[in-house]
Amino acid sequence: MNVDRILTRAKAHTKKGEWNKARALYTSLLQTFPKNQQAKIELKKLPSNIIPNTTPDLTQIQIDSVVALYHAGKTDQALETLATLTINFPTVAILFNIQGVCYADRQQFDAAVQSYQQALQIQPDYTEAHYNLSVAFNNLGQLDKAIVSYKKTLKIKPDYPEAHYNLGVIFNNQGKLSAAISCYQHAIKFKPNYTKAHSNLGIALKDMGQLQASVKSYQQVLKLQPHDPEALYNLGNVLHDLDHGAAAITHYERALKINPNYIEACNNLGIALKEAGHLSQAIKHYEDALKIKPDYAEAHYNLGVILQETGQLKEAVNHYEQAVKIKPRYAEAYNNLGMTLQDSGQPDTAINNYKNAIRINPNYAEAHNNLGVTLNETHQSVIAINSYHKAIQLKPDYAEAHYNLGIALKERGQLNDAINSYQQALKIKPTYAEALIHLSIYSWLDDDLSRLSAYLGTTMHSDHNKNQKNKFIEPYKLLLNNLLHYRKTHQEYYFSEKKLPLLYVIGESHCLPAANTVVSLKGKTYRIQSKIIIGCKMWHLANNQINGYKKQIETILNTIPNNAKIVLTFGEIDCRLNEGIIKFHQQTNNNLTQSIQSLSHDYIKYVTETLRPLSRSIIISGIPLPSPCRQKLLSITDVQLLATIIKELNSSLRTNTVNEGFQFLDLQQITQNDSTHFSNSSFIDDLHVTPSTFIAALATKTN
């Protein structure tokens, strides 16, 4: 709108005495520029008693010419013409409606509202004016007024599909999904080929969890518009949620064929391909999305997920960092960045990222749980327990948080509370393998054989990777099953109802065969009570660092009376081929003998400083030689290396043990024949000796 030109025209009308026309121009100008002082002054100068309109009746040609100006994009000229026409024909509602449309076209929605309201004052049942007023209120964010206006529109014209549709959009945005669905359905009833209504109905039904109905809506869209990439994409999303992965992939691919730059389809295709196990293809589509839009945070995040899961931690960190740089409030990316940094050995930085995720979303249960895991691993178990409790408060059916709480409580010596947490995890997730194994272990230690049988007989499922399953779940399951069978067929080695003094065996899994057996030492009979510290290496006790394993052993010692007999069974894990002594030697090429002697010395030093002050009778267990079954799985070179390491460690342990005045339990000698002649009589599985072998060694091979 040219202000100077309008002022000039208005003044010209004034000079000619055409005050109605002048007033119309000034009024129109002030609707657009309400602070224009010159227009205000000139308007006041006009006579108060304006001569009544003597213009002939409004013609359709005049209306059509204004509409033509609007459709030609000449909105300013249309408004100038309407300023005159609305003065000359102040009772013609259509003029004010057209004026409102022109103002709306210029995003002047307040002025549009005034024009529509003027039209409705003239003609209260003017459907289009009610509808246009609703749209203007909506654009101004005045949704309550918009809803009222749409309802008035529909009261006058119940079969107005666009009004039903727009009202549905407002309800949808307000989260009133049932009301939105009803509106979309009415829109479709009166306009069956209304693709936007079918599409939005599909979205609302999906959000309501009515996935099958949502599929039908999108299929209807595609009947009307077979090459609509958005409908193909949305249908792909619903099919993905229905676990129809192959069908989802097909629809994403069709959407991309029509629109190769559809980055959301590219990203979601990557997600579906990843879930189908096609990792390289998934990576390609994430990378394609990033080529189109390098600052696409979600694609960086999803690419990070694959890289993290495939062990490419450095690259995963890079993509998660890109994601949070692009989208600073991306809580999920901060959480996954924390997990990756934790796996990379950077716990402090991981903790900071978990805290960032929680700062953005305080109700993010997974971030609270992951923070707890890292805090527990960095020996901050009290704070870790608080994090687990928060995760459970937010998500009571969070099995992993209950399980992790159990781990932290166990490490603090709160074993009963830990068992309760494992049981709670199992109630939520009955096949939770890790919880089942822990409960199986404690059932065996508590001599609760019926419960042990029930746990071991349950189908087990683990969400962890195959390596975790092979290292923890399957070995313990095999050992416990073998021990349970052994117990049933060798009752003579186990305690009766007669109360016996206790001998304590503390160790990792090698303490389990001894549990609840009976042994005679120097004419005195004891019942063995085993105390397990899962995964504890000799190295964990030998080093100078505070750690959870030392905390556990010290907590256990607080439950054992002074002057009790204690056997320590640590060291076998240190001798395995893929960890401990051998792995460290392969990484550093250190002096193997010196390394073994140093480990043995520092371990016995820790035992001396921790246990001797309480005047306990201490027995240090050696390590059994490789079982015949284990040897069959290894190369000759590995068998020889393993035997050499075990013999050197046993020799050093014996020397250091005797020097400190402790007793040494020689499991090497008692397993020597089996290792040489490939007999399995001494072993209950590939790694552990039988209960009878352990108590026989304890009775005869202790010196």
CATH number where 583 lies = 3.40.50.1110
Asked if 402 and 392 count as a contact pair (C-beta separation under 8 A), the reply is yes
Q: Give kind and range of the element (H or E) at residue 591.
A: none
Mention every residue, 6+ apart, whose C-beta is less than 8 A from residue 198.
184, 188, 217, 218, 220, 221, 224
Distances (CA, A) of 495 to 218, 445, 498, 579, 677: 69, 13, 7, 36, 32
The candidate with the shortest Cα–Cα distance to 311, out of 344, 283, 279, 336, is 344
Angle at 543 between CA 538 and CA 548, to 5 degrees: 75
DSSP secondary structure code for residue 432 in this structure: B
State CA 557 to chain mean position distance: 39
Q: Are 639 and 626 in contact (CB under 8 A)?
A: yes
**Nearest Cα to Cα of residue 525 among 661, 694, 695:** 695
Contact indicator for 312, 305 with CB cutoff of 8 Å? no
Collapse the DSSP code of 428 into the 3-class scheme (helix H, G, I; strand E, B; otherwise coil) and give the result: helix
Do the beta carbons of residue 530 and residue 514 sit within 8 Å? yes
Strands (E), 479-621: 502-507, 518-521, 524-532, 565-569, 617-621
CB 526 within 8 A of CB 695: no
User: 233 in a domain, yes or no?
Assistant: no
Q: What is the pLDDT of residues 497-513, one digit of tens each?
A: 668 999 999 999 999 99
Looking at the domain assignment, is residue 367 inside a domain? no
- Beta-bridged to residue 517, according to DSSP, are 494
Residue 56, helix vs strand vs coil? coil
Q: Which residues of the chain have pLDDT under 50?
A: 49-55, 676-679
Q: Which contacts of 238-247 are long-range, i.e. CB under 8 A and separated by 24 or more positions?
A: 238/202, 238/206, 238/211, 238/214, 239/215, 240/268, 240/271, 240/272, 241/206, 241/211, 242/211, 242/212, 242/215, 245/272, 245/275, 245/276, 246/276
Which residue, 306, 369, 381, 322, is CA-closest to 342?
Answer: 369
Helix, strand, coil % over all residues of the chain, rounded to 5? 70, 5, 25
Domain assignment of residue 686, given as a range: 499-700
Which residue has 């027995």 as its token pair? 619
Could you tell me if 644 and 598 are in contact, meaning their C-beta atoms sit under 8 angstroms apart?
no
> Is 545 contained in some domain?
yes
Please state at what angle helix 297-309 crosses helix 279-292, rounded to 10 degrees: 150
What is the C-alpha to C-alpha distance for residues 524 and 197, in angstroms, rounded to an integer? 86
- Helices 415-428 and 433-445 pack at an angle, to 10 degrees, of 140
Cβ atoms within 10 A of the Cβ of 380, count? 18
In this structure, are residues 565 and 559 in contact, taking their beta carbons and an 8 Å threshold? no
Residues 161/197, Cβ–Cβ less than 8 Å:
yes
Distance CA 160, CA 186 (A): 9
Q: What pLDDT is stored for residue 50 in this prediction?
A: 42
In this prediction, residue 677 carries a pLDDT of 44
Residue 589's pLDDT is what? 82
Which pair of tokens denotes residue 127? Answer: 């459907």
Asked if the structure places residue 293 within a domain, the reply is: no
CA distance 658 to 646: 18
CB 101 within 8 A of CB 113: no
Stated length of the chain: 703
C-alpha–C-alpha distance, residues 274 and 268, integer Å: 10
For residue 49, the model assigns a pLDDT of 42
The answer to whether residue 661 sits within a structural domain is yes
**Rounded CA separation 38/26 (Å):** 9
Q: Is 300 a domain residue? A: no
What is the helix (H) or strand (E) element at residue 595, kind and residue range?
A: helix 592-611
Q: Round to whole Å and give the CA distance between 416 and 396.
A: 20
> What is the torsional sign of CA 217, 219, 220, 224?
positive
| Number of separate helices (H) and strands (E) present in the chain | 38, 6
Cβ atoms < 10 Å from Cβ of 244: 17
The residue behind tokens 């000039």 is 8
| Cβ partners under 8 Å of residue 542, min gap 6 | 599, 602, 603, 605, 606
Q: What is the pLDDT of residue 674?
A: 54
DSSP letter, residue 471: I
SS3 assignment, position 329: coil
Using alpha carbons, select from 25, 27, 34 the residue that is nearest to residue 6: 25
Domain presence at residue 671: yes
Q: How many domains is the chain built from? A: 1
Residue 575 lies in a domain: yes
**Radius of gyration in angstroms for the set of CA atoms belonging to the chain, rounded to a whole number:** 40
Whether 148 contacts 135, CB under 8 Å: no
665, containing H or E segment: strand 663-665
Compute the distance between CA of residue 297 and CA of residue 310 in angstroms, rounded to an integer: 20
Q: Whole-model pTM?
A: 0.79
